[in-house]
Amino acid sequence: MKFLVTGGAGFIGSHLVQALLLQGHKVITLDDLSTGREAFLQEVLAHDNHTFIQDSVQNRRVIKQCIDRVDAVFHLAAILGVKNTLEDPVKVIEGNIDGTRHVLELAFRRGIKVVFASTSEIYGKNASLPFSETSDRVYGAPSIHRWCYATAKSIDEHLCFAFADKGLPVTVLRYFNAYGPRQTNSQYGMVIPRFIHAALREEPLLVYGNGSQSRCFTYVDDMVRGTINALGHKANGLAFNIGSNRPITVLQLARMIVRMTDSDSMLQFMSYDEAYGKGYEDMPARIPDLTRSGAVLGFTSLVSLEEGLERTIRWSQGHGGA
């Protein structure tokens, strides 16, 4: 088969591109390199079955040219990150919604499958755990920009399901806290690369709040397996949680990374107001219900946190601490 991967030079996207090529497929990668890196695709840039196009999902003409050449689309391109959310909410809202609309409209014209990468952020402040795919969304006031990314992704999902009702084969995947090689320290402010970066440099690990907030971190190889499994027709018209169901607090994670890197780094605590400005809200816990993902996609998280962190630390050590 031939696939289009939008955002294919990004952290998850580049791993997905490589996996598809290893399976013998042809891949067109579209990425504007605003957060992705061409270096992430270095091993496959010259691959006979791979075409790299530097452009944006905002460019409808280019998207159409790509979609006209493929059998299915993995739509991973997105505007994300706390910095973007707080400083440029218009960029986040327009960048996510407009690009997804282009992909869905053009895929619908040809009737080809779309796998859309959403996020666990869409569950917002819902305190009822674990999150199932039918759980309610609970957001703060629209005047609080912190929620614009979750809102934009929710609208993207509404678009997906609206096109599904029209007959488009589309599947929504809600990623839970991906990590692994190529997730750099500067990329979106993610906690694991930030902690590893500091630990390898013997710098303080900055913990926001008191560190009691818990997350289920998911190794990128598991994310990619779940993403490819979503191509099947049984997944059409449905949303799936893709993640691990093993929670760990941020404080426990920081101590684990210090131990695994044999670092002398200390832990330093900072309030959310200091880090992001007054009024920033974070969720105390995020845990996915993986019942539907297991039953329909055959998905389960295979890489333990310890093994995934070992691989990620080795990669970071070989890339200057990333």
Q: What is the rounded CA–CA span in Å between residue 247 and residue 256?
A: 14
**CATH number of the domain to which 11 belongs:** 3.40.50.720
Which residues sit opposite 113 in a β-bridge?
A: 72
Q: Is residue 316 part of a domain?
A: no
- Residue closest to 239 by CA, chosen among 175, 152, 287: 175
- Residue closest to 182 by CA, chosen among 40, 38, 9: 40
Residues of the chain with pLDDT under 70: 185-189, 321-322
Q: What is the rounded CA–CA span in Å between residue 9 and residue 29?
A: 7
Domain count, the chain: 1
pLDDT at 188: 54
- Taking the alpha carbons of 211, 216, 221, 223 in that order, is the dihedral positive or negative? negative
Q: Is residue 277 part of a domain?
A: no
pLDDT at 82: 75
pLDDT at 51: 98
Q: Is residue 150 part of a domain?
A: yes
First CA to last CA distance, the chain: 34
Q: Could you give the residue numbers annotated as active site? A: 149
pLDDT at 167: 98
Q: How far is residue 166 from each of residues 141, 237, 244, measured CA to CA in Å?
A: 32, 10, 32
Per-residue tokens: 320: 């200057």
pLDDT at 272: 86
Q: Is residue 78 part of a domain?
A: yes
Mode of pairing for the β-strands spanning 72-75 and 113-119: parallel
DSSP string, 146-204: GGHHHHHHHHHHHHHHHHHHTT--EEEEEE--EE-TT--TTSTT-HHHHHHHHHHTTPP
* Greatest C-alpha distance within the chain: 57
The position carrying tokens 């760990």 is: 248
Q: Is residue 30 part of a domain?
A: yes
Q: How far is residue 36 from each of residues 14, 45, 86, 115, 246, measured CA to CA in Å?
A: 9, 14, 20, 19, 28
Give the alpha-carbon dihedral of 234, 130, 196, 16, to 10 degrees.
Answer: 10
Q: Is residue 276 part of a domain?
A: no
Query: Three-class SS string for 189-241?
Result: CCHHHHHHHHHHCCCCEEEECCCCCEECCEEHHHHHHHHHHCCCHHHCCCEEE
pLDDT at 322: 60
For the entire predicted model, the pTM comes to 0.96
Q: Is residue 193 part of a domain?
A: no
Three-state DSSP class for 270?
strand
Q: What is the rounded CA–CA span in Å between residue 70 and residue 112?
A: 8
Q: Is residue 251 part of a domain?
A: no
**Range of the structural domain that residue 21 is part of:** 2-180+217-244+288-301
pLDDT at 278: 79
Per-residue tokens: 172: 């929504």
Q: What is the rounded CA–CA span in Å between residue 206 and residue 275?
A: 10
